[in-house]
Chains A and B, each alone.
Chain A
Amino acid sequence: MGKGWCLFFLFWPIAAVVSCAMAPFVGWSFPYNNAQAASNLGIRIDDLFYIILIVTAIVFVGTQAVLVYALWRGANNREERATNIHGNHKLELIWSIIPGAILLFLAIYQMNIWADFRIKKYYPEAAVKDPLAEVTARQFEWRFRYPAIGKKLQQKPQPDDLYSVNELHVPFGKPVMIQLRSDDVQHSFFLPALRIKQDALPGLQIPVWFEANKPGTYDLVCAELCGWGHYKMKAHVIVQPEDEYQAYLKNLTQKQFYDGLGKIAAKDTGTESEAVEK
C-alpha cells in the first residue's frame, strides 16, 4: 500500500519535468513560439533565466527523488522502531553552505544586468540625450508623443510634436529611451518580446531604455491592474529600419499638419514649417 503512494508521489514530478522539457517545442515557453528576445538585454535576461532553470531543475529533481526514496524506505521499514537521530551537524552545515553559495553567486551574477537595465548611470548616453518619445498611459490606451523631425523631445508638449495612439514606431539596432508617464492610475509598460516591463506612475516620469535587435511588430500590453478595461490596453510596437522609421515620422507629420491645401503647417503657431510637397 505504501509503495503505491510512493509511486503516486513519484508520478507528478516526472510529469512536471516532462512537460517542462516539452515546453520549448510546443510553444509553451517564451512568447512568439519561444522566439529569442528581441533586445540584447532581453537575451541576457533569458540567459540568466536558463541558468536559474538549470539550478532549480537539478534541485527539484534531487529533492523530489530523495523525498520519494525516503518514503519508499519508510514504507518498507521492517525494523522494530525508526532510527533515533536528532540531527547531524556536519550534514546540516553542508546543506546550508552549498545552497548559500549558489544563491550568493546568482545574486552577484545578475547585478550587472540589473544595473544596465535600470540604473541611469549605465544607460547608453546617446539614448539619454535624445529620448525617442514620451509614452503616456491612460485608461485604457497608450499615447505617444514624438518630437518634430530634427528636434529634441521637450519636457512640455510643443506645438509641433507628433502624436499617435496605440502604435509606437522604433528604429532597430540602436538604443532608444522613452519617458514613461501616466495620466490617471498606475499602468505598466510591458513588452514581452523585449522582456521590458516598467510601471507608469502618475506624478513621475520614468526613463526606460531598450535596444530592439530584430524588426517586427510586437505586442505592447499593460501589466498593472488599471481598472475594468485593463485587459484591453492593446497596442503595438513596430520595430523597423532607421529609414522606414524616418519615413513614418514624415508621414505622421503630413497627416497631422495637413492644412487641406497641400501644405503642412505647424499646429496653432501659424508659422509655416518647411513645406513638404505632398
Chain B
Amino acid sequence: MTTLNPSPTGLQPILNPQAHHAPGNFITKYIFSTDHKIIAIQFMFTTLLMMIVGGVLALAVRWQLAFPWESMPIVGPWLFAAEGGQISPEFYTMLFTMHATVMIFLVIIPILAGTFGNLLIPLMIGADDMAFPRLNMLSYWFMWPAIACFGMSFAYAGGPAAGWTSYPILADLAQAAPGSGTAQTLWLLGVTFIGFSSMMGSINYMTTIINMRAPGMTFFRLPMTIWGLFITAILQAFALPVLTAGGFMQVTDRLLGTCFFYPSGLVINNAAPTVGGGQALLWQHLFWFYSHPAVYIMLLPVMGMVSDMLSCMCRKPLFGYKPMVISMSAIASLGFIVWGHHMYTSGMNPAVGMAFMVATMMIALPSAVKTFNWTATIWGGKVEFNTVTLNCIAFLSMFIVGGLSGIFMAAVPVDVYFHDTYFIVAHFHYVLFGATLFGVFAAIHFWFPKMFGRMMNEKLGKTHFVLTFIGANGTFFPMHFLGMQGMPRRYADPYLHGYLEHLLPMNQFMTISAIVMGFAQILLFINIFYSMFFGPKAGRNPWNATTLEWTTPSPPGHGNFDFIPMVYHGPNEYAVVNGNKDFLMQTEKESLPANEAVATNTLDET
C-alpha cells in the first residue's frame, strides 16, 4: 500500500467488487474466464506458442534460400519423405504463406490487442473489467477455430499457396495452383474467424475506454498506451469489415462460382473457366484497404507502450504528450487513404498513384515527429539500462530504419523497381520484427510483475536481447542489398537467374543470423516460465511508475482496484519534487511544484 497514497476525497470504495464475476472453480477461473487479466494471459501464451510455429516456418524458408534443395536437418527426412527430404517449390510457397499468416494474424495482432489490450485497458483507466467480459472471453476463444482452420490447411496437398495477400486468380480458382484447393478455402475461413475475434476485441476496447474511465481520467490524461490501443481499436472497427467482405466474396467465388475477382477468357491449366466478368484488381483494393491500416494496428499499440516505458525508464515526462496523440491520430487517419501505395505496379490508373504517393509521403511526417519526441524523452533523462529500456531503444533504432526505407517505397518511380523484391521484405521486417517485436519484448518484461507478481530475470533478459538484436540486424539488414540487386521475393530458387547467382553467400550469412535469433527465443521462454514460479516477488510498483495499474496489488485480484481510483493529472509525471520521491502517481493529489510545472509545461493542461 506504499504507493497507493489514499486520500479520503479521492477514493471511493467499490460497492460490490465481486458483482462482475466471482472466481469460480478452476475451469471458470482459468479456462472459460471472463476476467480480463486471465484472458490476457491466455492470449499471451497462445500467441507465444504461435510465435514458435511462425519462427520454425521462417527458418525453413531461410534454409531453402541458403541451401536450396538440400534436405532440412532433423525435420527434412521426416516431413518430406516423399521428396527425399527436399523442400518442393509447392511446399516452399506454403511455407512463406503460412509464416506470414501466422506471424501477422496469430502473433502480432493478437499479442498487441489481445494480450496488452486486455491486460492494460481496464487497469490503466481504472475500471474493474472490460465493458463486455463475456464478449471478451469469446474473442479469445474465436482464435482457436482460426488456428484449427490454418492448421488443417497444412494437411491438404500443397497447403495454401497464394501468399498471405491471397491475390486472385491464384487464390480464387482452384485450378490455378496445387495449393489453391480446399487449403485456400480453409485459409480464408481462418482469416474470417480471426477477424471476428479482433472485431469483438475492438468493440470491447472502444466501449470500455469511452465509458469506463475512472473519475478524473480525462482523454488527455490517458496514458499513451491507452491512446495507442484506442486508436487501433477504431482502425480495426472501420477497416476489418472490408477484408471480411472481400474474404467472403472470395469464398463464394471459390464455392459458388460468383466470379467477383476473375474476368472471362482465362485459360488455366489448359482449361477455361466457363464464366467470368470480374476484376482481379478489385481484390487488391479491398485487401489493402484493410491491410494497410493493419500495419498500424500492428504498430500503434507498441508506440503507445514504448512511450510509457521510455518515460518511466528515463524518469522524465513524455516529451510532447499532445503532439504524440495528434501524430498517432494523423497516422491512423492518413492510414486509410494510402492503401494504393501497395499497388503502384498493379495496373490501376496511374494518376491515382500520384495521389497515393503524396498521401504516403505525408504519413512519414507524424512518424518522424514521434521519433524525435521519443529521442527528446531520453534527452536529459536518467537512463536505467535494464531489459525493458534496451528493448525500447532497439524498437526506436530499428523503427528509424524501417521508417527511412519506407520513403524509398513511397516514391513511386523508385518503388516500381523495389516492389516485390527483398527490399520490401527488409522494410516490413524492420517495422514488424524490429519495432513491434522489440516493443513487445519490452512490454512483456515491464508488465510481467503485474501479470504474475514476480520479476523476470535480468541476466537472461539481457542475453536474449543481445542475441536477438544482433540476429535481427544480421538477418534483415542484408535484405536491403538483396532488394537493390533485384532479387524478387517468394522465389524458391533465385540462383536460377544469372544476375542473382552470386547472392548465395549473402543468403547463407542471413540464414545463420536467423538461426541465432531463432534460438535466442528459447531464452525468452525459459525466462518466462522460470520467473513465473521462481522470480523475486514484486511489490505493487516495482518500477516506480505513475499510471493506475501500479496502484493495484501484483497480480491484481478480481475487480482490480480496492477503491475506485481518482485521477488528478497526466500519466507521466516524473522528475517532480514529491517528498522524497521523484514521481507523482496519477492518483496522488499533490499539485505539481509551481515553478517546474508552469515554466516548462507548455502543453500539458493539468
Q: Which A residues have a C-beta under 8 Å from some C-beta of B?
A: 1-2, 5, 8-9, 12-13, 15-16, 19, 23, 27-32, 44-45, 48-49, 52-53, 55-56, 59-60, 63-64, 66-67, 70-71, 73-75, 77, 79-89, 91-92, 95-96, 99-100, 103-104, 106-107, 110-111, 113-115, 117-119, 139, 183-186, 188, 190, 192-193, 195-204, 206, 219, 221-232, 234
Contact of A85 among B380, B396, B404 (CB under 8 A): B380
Interface positions of B from 359 to 417, Cβ below 8 Å from A: 361-362, 364-365, 368-369, 371-373, 375-376, 378-383, 385, 390, 393, 396-397, 400-401, 404-405, 407-408, 411-414, 416-417
The residue among B263, B281, B378 with the most chain A CB atoms within 10 A of its own CB is B378
Q: Smallest Cβ distance from B399 to chain A, in angstroms?
A: 10
Contact of A5 among B385, B407, B408 (CB under 8 A): B385
The residue among A31, A53, A104, A225 with the most chain B CB atoms within 10 A of its own CB is A225
Q: How far is the CA of A20 from the CA of B466 in the complex (A)?
A: 23
Q: How far is the CA of A45 from the CA of B344 in the complex (A)?
A: 15
A234 proximity list for chain B (CB < 8 A): 496-497
Q: Across the interface, do A60 and B404 meet the contact criterion of CB distance under 8 Å?
A: yes
Q: Supply 10 further A-B pairs (C-beta < 8 A) apart from A86-B321, A103-B365, A202-B263.
A: A13-B397, A27-B485, A31-B485, A74-B381, A77-B383, A84-B575, A95-B372, A184-B176, A227-B161, A228-B92
Interface positions of B from 242 to 269, Cβ below 8 Å from A: 262-269
B490 proximity list for chain A (CB < 8 A): 225, 230-231
Q: Is residue B13 contacting chain A, with contact meaning CB distance below 8 A?
A: no
Q: Is residue B473 contacting chain A, with contact meaning CB distance below 8 A?
A: yes
Least CB separation from B276: chain A residue: A203
The residue among B161, B379, B396 with the most chain A CB atoms within 10 A of its own CB is B379
Q: Is residue B89 contacting chain A, with contact meaning CB distance below 8 A?
A: yes
Q: Is residue B437 contacting chain A, with contact meaning CB distance below 8 A?
A: no
Q: Across the interface, do B603 and A23 meet the contact criterion of CB distance under 8 Å?
A: no
Q: How far is the CA of A183 from the CA of B481 in the complex (A)?
A: 33
Q: How far is the CA of A255 from the CA of B317 in the complex (A)?
A: 78
Q: Is residue B31 contacting chain A, with contact meaning CB distance below 8 A?
A: no
Q: Across the interface, do B178 and A228 meet the contact criterion of CB distance under 8 Å?
A: yes
The residue among B169, B317, B469 with the most chain A CB atoms within 10 A of its own CB is B169
Least CB separation from B491: chain A residue: A231
Q: Across the interface, do A118 and B353 meet the contact criterion of CB distance under 8 Å?
A: yes
Q: Is residue B83 contacting chain A, with contact meaning CB distance below 8 A?
A: no
Q: Across the interface, do A110 and B317 meet the contact criterion of CB distance under 8 Å?
A: no
B158 proximity list for chain A (CB < 8 A): 228
User: Interface size for chain B: under 10, 10 to 19, 20 to 34, or 35 or more residues?
Assistant: 35 or more
26 pairs, CB–CB < 8 Å, chain A vs chain B: A5-B385, A12-B473, A28-B506, A48-B414, A53-B408, A56-B405, A66-B375, A67-B397, A74-B314, A80-B582, A83-B381, A85-B319, A86-B317, A87-B322, A95-B369, A103-B361, A107-B357, A115-B354, A184-B169, A185-B177, A195-B417, A197-B417, A223-B419, A227-B93, A228-B179, A231-B494
Q: Is residue B315 contacting chain A, with contact meaning CB distance below 8 A?
A: yes
Q: Across the interface, do B393 and A77 meet the contact criterion of CB distance under 8 Å?
A: no
Q: How far is the CA of A276 from the CA of B412 in the complex (A)?
A: 48
A184 proximity list for chain B (CB < 8 A): 169, 176, 266-269
Least CB separation from A224: chain B residue: B420
- Determine, out of B47-55, B551-559, B594-602, the stretch whose residues face the partner at the interface: B594-602
Q: Smallest Cβ distance from A76 to chain B, in angstroms?
A: 9
Q: Across the interface, do B575 and A82 meet the contact criterion of CB distance under 8 Å?
A: yes
Q: Which B residues have a C-beta under 8 Å from some C-beta of A?
A: 88-90, 92-93, 158, 161-163, 167-170, 176-179, 262-269, 276, 279-281, 314-323, 345-347, 350-351, 353-354, 357-358, 361-362, 364-365, 368-369, 371-373, 375-376, 378-383, 385, 390, 393, 396-397, 400-401, 404-405, 407-408, 411-414, 416-417, 419-421, 466, 469, 473, 477, 481, 484-486, 488, 490-494, 496-499, 502, 506, 574-577, 582, 596-597, 600-604
A32 proximity list for chain B (CB < 8 A): 499
Contact of B411 among A70, A77, A110, A200 (CB under 8 A): A110
Q: Across the interface, do A84 and B477 meet the contact criterion of CB distance under 8 Å?
A: no
Q: Across the interface, do A23 and B400 meet the contact criterion of CB distance under 8 Å?
A: no
Q: Across the interface, do B315 and A81 meet the contact criterion of CB distance under 8 Å?
A: yes
Q: Across the interface, do B375 and A59 meet the contact criterion of CB distance under 8 Å?
A: no
Least CB separation from B367: chain A residue: A99
Q: Across the interface, do B411 and A52 meet the contact criterion of CB distance under 8 Å?
A: yes
B419 proximity list for chain A (CB < 8 A): 197, 223
Q: Across the interface, do B163 and A83 meet the contact criterion of CB distance under 8 Å?
A: no
A55 proximity list for chain B (CB < 8 A): 407
Q: Smallest Cβ distance from A228 to chain B, in angstroms?
A: 4
Also in contact, A186 and B357, with CB within 8 A (given A99-B365, A197-B416): no
Also in contact, A228 and B407, with CB within 8 A (given A103-B361, A114-B357, A202-B263): no
B357 proximity list for chain A (CB < 8 A): 107, 110, 114
Q: Smallest Cβ distance from A119 to chain B, in angstroms?
A: 5
Q: Smallest Cβ distance from A44 to chain B, in angstroms?
A: 8
The 6 closest A-B pairs by CB, nearest first: A203-B263, A74-B383, A192-B486, A118-B350, A231-B491, A87-B320
Q: Across the interface, do A82 and B574 meet the contact criterion of CB distance under 8 Å?
A: yes
Q: Across the interface, do A223 and B488 meet the contact criterion of CB distance under 8 Å?
A: yes
Q: Across the interface, do A219 and B376 meet the contact criterion of CB distance under 8 Å?
A: no
Q: Smallest Cβ distance from A106 to chain B, in angstroms?
A: 6
Q: How far is the CA of A231 from the CA of B179 in the complex (A)?
A: 16
Q: How far is the CA of A224 from the CA of B405 in the complex (A)?
A: 21
Q: Across the interface, do A23 and B484 meet the contact criterion of CB distance under 8 Å?
A: yes
A83 proximity list for chain B (CB < 8 A): 316, 380-381, 575
